[in-house]
Structures are given as structure tokens and as C-alpha cells.
């Protein structure tokens, strides 16, 4: 692919005099899986929402597939971009199948094609269609609901999928199994660019082909997990890695008592 999938050129976002994104420049290569890592309030969600047009930058240019955002029709753009968030917001009165089929239905697909697609997606996220298709969201565990959220985001086969801390509320084991799923799904599907926001350093390093470390609306480092671990670019990245080592020291019994 010649077009970079997602490109930020000198992008800033201000609320009044408060600069939350500060001259951001980066290119997410097409078909890659990139994680954005940073602490609360550093601008991760703002960055994602400037990609799907929910937030307008104050200055600079965001381009998708080589085309600046203001040249995109917003409805068309959102059709190209799946979005998975923590509060997944499944419609409680609709079955799992209907929840996953919302966008295809809006796009006017015929019912047979929608049903086939729903079953295919349920299998992709490891939920047996016979068991889950006709259930309601309240009849699923939190982890299963997040799987449905991933399936729903993929329903119309968008080339880009944005994930905003989708597994933040799940227990460690469920979270790990979903991280593995995301990796497998990205490898299975062709021509998909995944951008995954997290404040969990292990999640960012495990999932990302490249990791973008953000701090105060700027990029501290954008590199492979190995480069981040072996050559942290700034004092902030070093400190971040240090917290992981501290945790390890704690549970490894590396204490005086």
C-alpha cells in the first residue's frame, strides 16, 4: 500500500488556553497493529477521536488513507473505522446477533447476508453462534460482552479499527485471553490497521508491533516493544518501565522482611 494508513501532521488540540495535544506528528503504517500507551489525561482518547472525526483538531492535518479528514465525508469515514470502547454500549433490548448486525442493517444488507456475517464474526471472537446469537447482553459476562463489541466493530469490514482501553474493566486472565484474540484476529484478517489505546504497559508491549508512548499530549517514543524496553528514549519512558520492574520486585518477594 502506498498510502500511509493514518497520518498526523503538526496536530494540536486546545481547550481554551489548555493544550491537550501538542504538535503531534506520526504515521501509522497500513495493516499494522500499533498501541498507544500513556497515563490518564495524556491525550489518548482525544487522539483517537480526531481520527474518526468526533473531535476536530485546533490546528494541523489528520489524513486517513492519504486523504485529509476535511476531504472525507464523515459518514463514509465512520463506515471505514470500527470503534471499540470500554463501556461497550450494547443495546440491552436487542439480541447479540442484532447488536452485531446494526451497521450492516443500516447499510441495507439483506437478512441472509447479515446472518451469515454475524455467525462468521461470532466464531471469529470465539463465541458459538448457536449458544450466543439469540441471547441478550445482560446474559453475557463482561468479557463476552467485550468480544461482542469487537465483533460489532468489525461487522462492515472496516479497514481501520480503533480500540480505546476496551479491556480496562476485566480481570487479568480474561484480559490476557482477549489480548491474544486481538492479536490473532489482526493476523487472520487481511488489510486491517488496528490502533489500540491502553495505560497498561504490559498490554501495550504485548500487543503492539509498534508502541507509541505519549505524555502531556506529545510522543515520547514511537518504536517496537524491544526498542522501547532496551533503549527507552526519554526519562519518562525509563520511569514507566521502572514501575513494571518495581511491581515484579514486589511480587517476586524481593523485599526485606
Query: 59 or 131: whose CB is closer to ligand ATP?
Result: 59
**Residue 44 or 117: which CB sits closer to ligand ATP?**
44
Q: Is 14 a residue that touches ligand ATP (CB under 6 A)?
A: no
CB neighbour burial string for 197-229, b if at least 16 within 10 angstroms, e if fewer: bbbbbebbbbbbebbbbbbebbbbbbbebeebe
Q: Is 46 in the site for Mg ion (CB under 5 A)?
A: no
Interaction between residue 35 and ligand ATP (CB under 6 A): no
Angle between helices 111-124 and 142-154 (to 10 degrees): 130
Among 8, 34, 38, 221, binds ligand ATP (CB under 6 A): 38
The distance of closest approach from Cβ of residue 235 to ligand ATP in the complex, given in angstroms and rounded to an integer, is 20
Using CB under 6 A as the binding rule, the residues of this chain from 155 to 214 that contact ligand ATP are: 199
45 binds ligand ATP (CB under 6 A): yes
**What is the sign of the dihedral through the CA atoms of 208, 143, 249 and 241?**
positive
- Least distance to ligand ATP, CB of residue 227, Å: 22
Examine residue 198 and tell whether it contacts Mg ion (CB under 5 A). no
**Nearest CA-CA partner of 179 in 202, 211, 158, 210:** 202
DSSP conformation letters of 168-223 = TTS-HHHHHHHHHHHHHHHHHSSS-EEEEEES-HHHHHHH-SEEEEEETTEEEEEE
Q: What share of the chain is helix, strand, coil (3-state, %, to 5)?
A: 40, 25, 35
The reply to whether 87 sits near ligand ATP by the rule CB under 6 A is no
Check binding of 45 to Mg ion (CB under 5 A).
yes
Candidate ranges 38-46, 92-100, 179-187, 235-243; the one touching Mg ion (CB under 5 A)? 38-46
Output the CA torsion 51→52→55→59 (10° steps): 40
- Indicate whether 112 belongs to the interface with ligand ATP (CB under 6 A): no
Give me the least distance between CB of 208 and Mg ion, in Å please: 17
Compute CA distances 24 → 38, 61, 222, whole Å: 14, 10, 12
Q: Does residue 152 interact with ligand ATP by CB under 6 A?
A: no
When the beta carbons of 114 and 162 are compared against ligand ATP, the nearer one is 162
By CB under 6 A, name the one of 15, 112, 252, 256 that touches ligand ATP: 15
Provide the binding-site residues for Mg ion, judged by CB under 5 A: 45
Amino acid at each position: 500500500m502506498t498510502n500511509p494508513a493514518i497520518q498526523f501532521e503538526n496536530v494540536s488540540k486546545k481547550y481554551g488556553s489548555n493544550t491537550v495535544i501538542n504538535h503531534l506528528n506520526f504515521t501509522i503504517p497500513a495493516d499494522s497493529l500499533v498501541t498507544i500507551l500513556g497515563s490518564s489525561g495524556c491525550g489518548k482518547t482525544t487522539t483517537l477521536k480526531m481520527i474518526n472525526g468526533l473531535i476536530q483538531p485546533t490546528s494541523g492535518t489528520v489524513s486517513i488513507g492519504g486523504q485529509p479528514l476535511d476531504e472525507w465525508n464523515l459518514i463514509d469515514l465512520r463506515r471505514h473505522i470500527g470503534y471499540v470502547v470500554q463501556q461497550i454500549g450494547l443495546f440491552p433490548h436487542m439480541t447479540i446477533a442484532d447488536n452485531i448486525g446494526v451497521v450492516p442493517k443500516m447499510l441495507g444488507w439483506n437478512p441472509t447476508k447479515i446472518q451469515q456475517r454475524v455467525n462468521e464474526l461470532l466464531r471469529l471472537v470465539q463465541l458459538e453462534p448457536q449458544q450466543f446469537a439469540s441471547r441478550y447482553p445482560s446474559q453475557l459476562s463482561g468479557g463476552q460482552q467485550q468480544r461482542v463489541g469487537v465483533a460489532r466493530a468489525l461487522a462492515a469490514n472496516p479497514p481501520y479499527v480503533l480500540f480505546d482501553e476496551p479491556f480496562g474493566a476485566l480481570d487479568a486472565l480474561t484480559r490476557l485471553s482477549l489480548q491474544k484474540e486481538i492479536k490473532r484476529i489482526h493476523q487472520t484478517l487481511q488489510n486491517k490497521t488496528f490502533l489500540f489505546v491502553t495505560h497498561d504497559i504490559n498490554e501495550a508491549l504485548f500487543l503492539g508491533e509498534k508502541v507509541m508512548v505519549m505524555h502531556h499530549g506529545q510522543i515520547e517514543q514511537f518504536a517496537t516493544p524491544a526498542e522501547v524496553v532496551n533503549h527507552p528514549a526519554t526519562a519518562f519512558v525509563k520511569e514507566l518501565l521502572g514501575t513494571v520492574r518495581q511491581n515484579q520486585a514486589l511480587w517476586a518477594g524481593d523485599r526485606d522482611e
